[in-house]
Amino acid sequence: MEGVDHLAHERSKAQFDVDEMKIVWAGSRHSFEVSDRISRLVASDPVFRKDNRTMLARKDLFKNTLRKAAHAWKRIIDLRLTEEEAKTLRFFVDEPAYTDLHWGMFLPAIQGQGTDEQQEKWLPLAYKMQIIGCYAQTELGHGSNVQGLETTATFDPQKDEFIINSPTLTSSKWWPGGLGKISTHAVVYARLITDGQDHGVHGFIVQLRSLDDHLPLPGITVGDIGMKFGSGAYNSMDNGVLRFDNVRIPRDQMLMRVSQVTREGKYMQSNVPRQLVYGTMVFVRKTIVSDASCALSRAVCIATRYSAVRRQFGSQKGGVETQVIDYKTQQSRLFPLLASAYAFRFVGEWLSWLYTDVTQRLQAKDFATLPEAHACTAGLKSLTTSATADAIEECRKLCGGHGYLSSSGLPELFAVYVPACTYEGDNIVLLLQVARFLVKTVSQLVSGKKPVGTTAYLGRVELLMQSRPNVQKAEDWLQPSVIVEVFEARATRMSVACAKNVSKFPSLEEGFAELSADLVEAAVAHCQLIVVSKFIEKLQQVIPGKGVKEQLLNLCYIYALFLLHKHLGDFVSTGCITPKQASLANDQLRSLYSQVRPNAVALVDAFNYTDHYLSSVLGRYDGNVYQNLYDEAWKDPLNESVVPDGYHEYVRPLLTQQLRNARL
Amino acid sequence: MEGVDHLAHERSKAQFDVDEMKIVWAGSRHSFEVSDRISRLVASDPVFRKDNRTMLARKDLFKNTLRKAAHAWKRIIDLRLTEEEAKTLRFFVDEPAYTDLHWGMFLPAIQGQGTDEQQEKWLPLAYKMQIIGCYAQTELGHGSNVQGLETTATFDPQKDEFIINSPTLTSSKWWPGGLGKISTHAVVYARLITDGQDHGVHGFIVQLRSLDDHLPLPGITVGDIGMKFGSGAYNSMDNGVLRFDNVRIPRDQMLMRVSQVTREGKYMQSNVPRQLVYGTMVFVRKTIVSDASCALSRAVCIATRYSAVRRQFGSQKGGVETQVIDYKTQQSRLFPLLASAYAFRFVGEWLSWLYTDVTQRLQAKDFATLPEAHACTAGLKSLTTSATADAIEECRKLCGGHGYLSSSGLPELFAVYVPACTYEGDNIVLLLQVARFLVKTVSQLVSGKKPVGTTAYLGRVELLMQSRPNVQKAEDWLQPSVIVEVFEARATRMSVACAKNVSKFPSLEEGFAELSADLVEAAVAHCQLIVVSKFIEKLQQVIPGKGVKEQLLNLCYIYALFLLHKHLGDFVSTGCITPKQASLANDQLRSLYSQVRPNAVALVDAFNYTDHYLSSVLGRYDGNVYQNLYDEAWKDPLNESVVPDGYHEYVRPLLTQQLRNARL
Ligand SMILES: Cc1cc2nc3c(=O)[nH]c(=O)nc-3n(C[C@H](O)[C@H](O)[C@H](O)COP(=O)(O)OP(=O)(O)OC[C@H]3O[C@@H](n4cnc5c(N)ncnc54)[C@H](O)[C@@H]3O)c2cc1C
Ligand SMILES: Cc1cc2nc3c(=O)[nH]c(=O)nc-3n(C[C@H](O)[C@H](O)[C@H](O)COP(=O)(O)OP(=O)(O)OC[C@H]3O[C@@H](n4cnc5c(N)ncnc54)[C@H](O)[C@@H]3O)c2cc1C
Ligand SMILES: [Ca+2]
């Protein structure tokens, strides 16, 4: 049956132009072309095969990742790929590796925090990979609270050097990717101490290993922190532990763009605004949100295709059974996730715009909108990563028993994805920051301060505290203005309630602490509003292609009405909608599912993922699931011999009842 | 710091008698004593060590599991353990193994479906493990829909034999645990065909492997289906694939308790009632519910202890930081899970009673309550396993970055637990069964049919459609009768609404299909009511021990009010409570969290888990987390050499820019 498209029937049902949708998903024709070309390049290269990943022991897995990273670099050079193409290639190699941190954290840290001279010295080395760097911030005892880091960098004016030291066990650096086995250098965050005075946490470039023999330099203890979730997943990465025993580095290896230590040991601020960090933060989070849409769409693609292949129940004796994608429960679990994938894609796109905007404002020294941009990206990072992590597992469950097999691709996708909820800011800690910003914004309304950007709606607080949507029948929900207003009303009322309740406490801090669970919910409401709004804004643009906009509109409504149902308590108890209107929304949702159903497979085809990238037997483009599941199974090492290792020692004595005398 | 109890301060704060709580948790003094003794026995035996599990390649892991299984059996024999003790020992060995299916499915299938003669022949062999059996139902193409299985068992009257055959690829048996490499026998489910007539699915005892050399018998193809979620987890189990090429078995190997094939090939029903299957089903599900409480309590124990050890933020420069367990967000995520662990424990206990009740009724040929018992156990299986799977992952997130390390124990606990949502009935498929039963029960109310057991409350439908709780201030929520009434009202109104809406469709089947997502929610509401009610009933018993009942009461309220908050939309939109009452419930919840806080560590100590069973550095009894995390890390194979394998081939050429000519 090779070469047969088992899903051809599904594809023929699509009511829109899939090729045009591919462009929309990719963001532009150019992006589509690059990602299409590079993903095929990776897929066709045997060095980049992934299907054996979960069977490799840690050391073999790791070595194979080193091989892939080197091969990727060679391809990038040999083919003279552009920066965009190189990035795309690394993305499709799809395996956590030290290069992620080198390109994603080490270089940007130097770019953002290094002086011009420092950049001139270090960046060329890093660009050519003559040095390999990582980002060493987190310690065994300190993660979320960066200000609590214990590693010290004490200035020695005698020698014009900093002494980097790990004074306690809990000050050991712990987690940095690429640190354990590979990095030659690190940006190390440590408390700066000059003349006995603690100036808080600053970044330092520290060489860790000799460039001759790769051995750790004197005073440095470094290693891998061990196995993590999954069998492949992040185990291809050498997250590391690092201790310093009074290691000396030259003074000019402190990253001095924002603050400096002079030859005499004087601590000084430069005239570069501290707000610079916002730029980097927005950049990193925009990447995380777009990664969320990739991971989510990948899981949804697998679950959708398999749900169209899988049949269960509903036949008369011996007849063909019902495709599980036709069950309304399956649709009500799957289609909102499909809609979320598109929603996150578009909000990620919007964040690219926001990044440009923030960068321009920084250059113009206009800092007014930065706190809002900061809160907004913190919230979107949290919202999209939490939702994606949950969704991957839901997609796995949607595949029934077979989803539990590594060959389904979903277990490893989950295992490799979930830390996104924790790194770059624990999601709850981030939402608390958003909530504080919202409460502050609400409190400042009375003084006439106009909220900006994604919080602008709070300026219409009086209206939104009163508004009631004009929804009398199910189809009334199919109006963008109604949707936005309801989401704005809910977010407003929750933020206002929080602000009011917090103010009842003896101190604001007590109020925040005591009501923090409510605050988190208000922050979520705000962030969901942003995603819904940006989806709707996207649809106000011209979108060419037969039926493309119609499909996106359906998905947009599904996303919004699904959230409305999921958080019904918020909407109804704040009086934003009535129970009757909620039930109409549900009716509408069911009808939207029916409209999406014939387009479902085409809507995931639009992601344009290769079978290599999906690495899922269940998600294969051709839908030829069973034969491939069957063939995959026999590759397991356990099947190398018919009688398993251990049978003679541990099973036979049992069967023959000779256990008593056996030595186990 | 060995020997120091880092959590002593927490333990000293407890306001109740932990030893008495241990008895309550165990179910009786006797159960406590057995589980305490056996868990220590397992913990102290080096053969049973688990800490290296995630580092082993599949074959080594599997072989080590065979060793443990043999050793367990030897200990059971040598120490002359009772059946209860043996079961407890296998439980604490805590590693999926072929023995689970042998004892848990193969034996019970013969007991339940075999005739007396069949039992006499096969059970002694199985009891002594002279044969090892598995349960081969699921096929590559057929899981949930057992009636759709394709394997055939055709009677050949000439030879008085059945011919077992796999007519298609999708008819390959797929998933049975213990099948892949170890089982000598299987109970195989196949379509019985006599004289060209298909009698549907029946069970057959089939020998798979030679007892001499363990090779598959002629006509049998058998192997392992490959890697599953996680690196340890279920990979210690040989879930298998099995194909039959016209394999012949004697007629007396069809399990003939309920239906028979005579020598002449006549198909007949015996006078044994078909309802017998209910007994087995209740038994299996009772075990699954009690396993849920174990897995959940284990995750909660780890997250609670670590949350008391972990400190983050809230210090003045250099001072000691706040324990993260003191943050209200942490409490509002963790304490409801702690409460759920106790709730599931008690509902599991109640299911033991239900099993006895069902058994007695079966003996008395009283089948009236069986459908209700069936629906109830299906629902509780679904509810507790879904909640537990989610909770384990939430506990992992509650541990921040360190929860992502295998040494935290949480990744493998998740990976090994999640299939419980799928096996023994996909949780959604089960909830749909519950919903159908509820709708039927509601529809029959008009005809005067009195609902029984856990659905009895529906008999008070008129009252419950009207009732409003008398809650005017937060403490008013602290009344069991108020809680139960509100949960009954919500479940009733949702079931009634479903029944009403379903009846609007042209046919009942169409209605069920179209509204299935609503039906699932009504089923969940019903099941949550059962758990809440059984918790409350438990507390109406005498519970000795200083402060024990007070703690349980707090947990019971937390469980109920947390659900109320989580499903607020249900409660408010059905008019069961007002928004104001919802907000009072939230206030009360916060105050309950504060009351639990000083008791949290003691409440998880009451589970009486050994460090061996927890296998978590974060959950260690002594709280000495950091030193042990640090020491654990160095054991990873990657740390065997300072310069990693692959450096010379794949990293050095990069650093020295000699990549271009390198052969990768
Ligand atoms: C795969 C992976 C890769 C990583 N890579 C790197 C890297 O390259 N470089 C690097 O420096 N670090 C890295 N990290 C570390 C990562 O940045 C931290 O784990 C992350 O910042 C979370 O901090 P934590 O682990 O200390 O969590 P904690 O702060 O200890 O969180 C534990 C719990 O406490 C709660 N909590 C904490 N503070 C508060 C508060 N104020 N209010 C309410 N609740 C609170 C959290 O919500 C959470 O539930 C990585 C981590 C992982 C898992
Ligand atoms: C670890 C593990 C161990 C196992 N051990 C054994 C064993 O020892 N012996 C054995 O025989 N089997 C075993 N199984 C198989 C297991 O029993 C099946 O996987 C399970 O019954 C689910 O069936 P399925 O995989 O066919 O799921 P499917 O039915 O294919 O489910 C796929 C999706 O379809 C949905 N769906 C299916 N039917 C309906 C419907 N009517 N209405 C709405 N939605 C529907 C489901 O909700 C799910 O989302 C094991 C499985 C696992 C994962
Ligand atoms: Ca492995």
Q: How far apart are CA A329 and CA A331, in angstroms?
A: 5
With residue B192 as reference, give the H or E element that holds it: strand B185-194
With residue B325 as reference, give the H or E element that holds it: none
User: What DSSP assignment string belongs to B232-248?
Assistant: TGGGGS--EEEEESSEE
B633 lies in a domain? no
Cβ distance A165 to A152 under 8 Å?
yes
Task: Report in angstroms the alpha-carbon separations of A396 from A307, A393, A405, B51.
Answer: 11, 5, 10, 27
How far from chain centre, in Å, is Cα A578? 35
User: What residues form DSSP beta bridges with A202?
Assistant: A190
ipTM of the shown complex: 0.98
Do the strands A173-174 and A185-194 form a parallel or antiparallel pair, or are they unpaired?
unpaired
pLDDT reported for residue A663? 56
Task: Report in angstroms the alpha-carbon separations of B525 from A397, B248, B563.
Answer: 21, 49, 10
Q: How far apart are CA A411 and CA A405, in angstroms?
A: 7
Average pLDDT, chain A: 96
With residue A70 as reference, give the H or E element that holds it: helix A58-78
pLDDT one-digit tens code per residue, B103-129: 999 999 999 999 999 999 999 999 999
pLDDT reported for residue A658? 75
Burial label for A178, CB within 10 Å (0-12, 13-18, 19+), is buried
What are the pocket residues of ligand 2 if the criterion is a CB atom closer than 6 Å to any ligand atom? A 310, 312-313, 324, 327, 329-330, 398, 400-402, 404; B 101, 135-138, 143-144, 175-177, 234, 239, 419, 422-423, 426, 428-429, 432
pLDDT at A346 over 70: yes
Q: What is the 8-class DSSP label of residue A104? A: I
pLDDT band, residue A318 (cuts 50/70/90): low
Angle at A420 (CA atoms; ends A417, A423), nearest 5 degrees: 140
Q: Which of B140, B644, B664 shows the shortest C-beta gap to A630?
A: B140
B616 lies in a domain? no
Amino acid identity of residue A602, one-letter, is A
User: In this complex, is the C-beta atom of B76 within 8 Å of any C-beta atom belonging to chain A?
Assistant: no
Residue with token string 């924790």: A422
Phi and psi, residue B124, nearest 5°: -60, -40
Indicate which atom in ligand 2 lies nearest the CA of residue A404. 53
State mean pLDDT over A497-525.
97
pLDDT reported for residue A661? 54
Describe the crossing of helices A370-398 and A427-443 by its angle, rounded to 10 degrees.
140
Terminal Cα-to-Cα distance of chain A (whole angstroms): 48
Q: What is the 8-class DSSP label of residue A252? A: G
State mean pLDDT over A629-641.
97
Check whether residue B520 and residue B411 sit in a common domain: yes
pLDDT one-digit tens code per residue, B506-527: 999 999 999 999 999 999 999 9
> Which range, of A610-619, B273-282, B595-604, averages the lowest pLDDT?
B273-282
Do the strands B185-194 and B152-156 form a parallel or antiparallel pair, or are they unpaired?
parallel
Phi and psi, residue B577, nearest 5°: -140, 160
CB of A481 closer than 6 angstroms to any ligand 1 atom: no
pLDDT at B17 over 60: yes
Cβ distance A482 to A471 under 8 Å?
yes
Q: Cβ A657–B128 below 8 Å, yes or no? A: yes
Q: How far apart are CA A659 and CA A650, in angstroms?
A: 9
Residues 6+ apart with CB under 8 A from A643: B213, B214, B215
pLDDT one-digit tens code per residue, A362-408: 999 999 999 999 999 999 999 999 999 999 999 999 999 999 999 99
3-state secondary structure of B581: helix
Check whether residue A481 and residue A597 sit in a common domain: yes
* Range 141-170 of B in CB contact (< 8 A) with A: 141-145, 148, 169-170
Cβ distance A354 to B545 under 8 Å?
no
Of A272, A293, A323, the position where a domain reaches its end is A272
Indicate which atom in ligand 1 lies nearest the CA of residue A427. 47
pLDDT reported for residue B664? 56
Q: Is B424 a catalytic residue?
A: yes
User: In this complex, is the C-beta atom of B199 within 8 Å of any C-beta atom belonging to chain A?
Assistant: no
Check whether residue B70 and residue B12 sit in a common domain: yes
pLDDT one-digit tens code per residue, A277-295: 788 888 899 999 999 999 9
Check whether residue B568 and residue B648 sit in a common domain: no
Cα–Cα nearest to A89, from A135, A22, A43: A43
Q: How far apart are CA B216 and CA B183, in angstroms?
A: 10
pLDDT reported for residue A97? 98
Catalytic residue among B95, B150, B424, B488: B424
Question: Percent of chain B beyond pLDDT 70?
Answer: 98
Check whether residue B323 and residue B233 sit in a common domain: no
pLDDT at A311 over 70: yes
Q: How far apart are CA B423 and CA A181, in angstroms?
A: 41
Tokens for B663? 């052969």
B610 lies in a domain? no
Check whether residue B364 and residue B479 sit in a common domain: yes
User: What residues form DSSP beta bridges with B205?
Assistant: B187
Cβ distance B396 to B411 under 8 Å?
yes
A511 lies in a domain? yes
Residues 6+ apart with CB under 8 A from B572: A568, A569, A572, A573, A579, B578, B579, B582
Cβ distance B240 to B223 under 8 Å?
yes
Q: Which domain holds residue A162?
A: 107-272
Amino acid identity of residue A58, one-letter, is R
B630 lies in a domain? no
Check whether residue B128 and residue B90 sit in a common domain: no
Check whether residue A484 and residue A595 sit in a common domain: yes
Q: How far apart are CA A40 and CA B276, in angstroms?
A: 57
Query: Ramachandran region of residue B380, left (φ > 0), alpha (ψ -120 to 50) or beta?
Result: alpha
pLDDT at B279 over 90: no
CATH number of the domain within which A432 lies = 1.20.140.10
Beta strands across the sheet bearing A173-174:
A173-174, A240-244, A220-224
Q: How far apart are CA A223 and CA B640, in angstroms?
A: 10
Name every chain B residue with its beta carbon within 8 A of the beta carbon of A623. Answer: none
Check whether residue A216 and residue A324 sit in a common domain: no
Ligand 2 center–CA B142 separation, angstroms: 8
pLDDT reported for residue B270? 87
Average pLDDT, chain B: 96
Check whether residue B260 and residue B385 sit in a common domain: no
Of A236, A257, A272, the position where a domain reaches its end is A272
Amino acid identity of residue A446, one-letter, is V
User: What DSSP assignment string belongs to B327-386?
Assistant: SHHHHHHHHHHHHHHHHHHHHHHHHHHHHHHHHHHHHTT--TTHHHHHHHHHHHHHHHHH
pLDDT at B649 over 50: yes
Q: How far apart are CA B224 and CA B228, in angstroms?
A: 11
Residue B177 marked in a binding site: yes
Task: Tell which of A74, A191, A404 to mutate to test the B interface (max B CBs under 10 Å).
Answer: A404
Phi and psi, residue A110, nearest 5°: -70, -40
pLDDT reported for residue B438? 98
Phi and psi, residue B257, nearest 5°: -65, -40
How far from chain centre, in Å, is Cα B570? 26
The C-alpha of B238 sits at a distance from chain A's nearest C-alpha, in angstroms, of 9
Cα–Cα nearest to A149, from A222, A223, A224, A200: A200
pLDDT band, residue B276 (cuts 50/70/90): confident
pLDDT reported for residue A278? 80
3-state secondary structure of A140: coil
Count the neighbouring beta carbons within 10 Å of the beta carbon of residue B656: 12
User: What DSSP assignment string belongs to B462-501?
Assistant: HHHHH------SGGGG--HHHHHHHHHHHHHHHHHHHHHH
Q: How far apart are CA B18 and CA B407, in angstroms?
A: 27
Q: Cβ A662–B74 below 8 Å, yes or no? A: yes
Describe the crossing of helices A370-398 and A516-539 by its angle, rounded to 10 degrees.
90
Check whether residue A485 and residue A437 sit in a common domain: yes
Catalytic residue among A424, A462, A475, A514: A424
B619 lies in a domain? no
Task: Return the exposure string of A577-588: e unless at least 16 CB atoms fall within 10 Å of the residue's CB, then b.
Answer: beeebbbbbbeb
pLDDT reported for residue B1? 47
Ligand 2 center–CA A131 separation, angstroms: 50
Q: How far apart are CA A403 and CA A414, in angstroms?
A: 11
User: In this complex, is the C-beta atom of B664 within 8 Å of any C-beta atom belonging to chain A?
Assistant: yes
Q: Counting every residue, how long is chain B?
A: 664
State mean pLDDT over B57-79.
96
Angle at B24 (CA atoms; ends B19, B27), nearest 5 degrees: 125
pLDDT reported for residue A8? 98
CB of B398 closer than 6 angstroms to any ligand 1 atom: yes
Cβ distance A142 to A149 under 8 Å?
yes
pLDDT band, residue A1 (cuts 50/70/90): very low
Count the neighbouring beta carbons within 10 Å of the beta carbon of residue B578: 15
pLDDT band, residue B662 (cuts 50/70/90): low
pLDDT one-digit tens code per residue, A399-445: 999 999 999 999 999 999 999 999 999 999 999 999 999 999 999 99
A190 lies in a domain? yes
Q: How far apart are CA B128 and CA B107, in angstroms?
A: 11
CATH number of the domain within which B85 lies = 1.10.540.10
Check whether residue A229 and residue A287 sit in a common domain: no
B3 lies in a domain? no
Of A257, A272, A287, the position where a domain reaches its end is A272
Do the strands A173-174 and A259-261 form a parallel or antiparallel pair, or are they unpaired?
unpaired
State mean pLDDT over B194-215.
97
Angle at B87 (CA atoms; ends B86, B89), nearest 5 degrees: 65
Q: What domain count does chain A have?
A: 2
Question: Percent of chain A beyond pLDDT 70?
Answer: 98
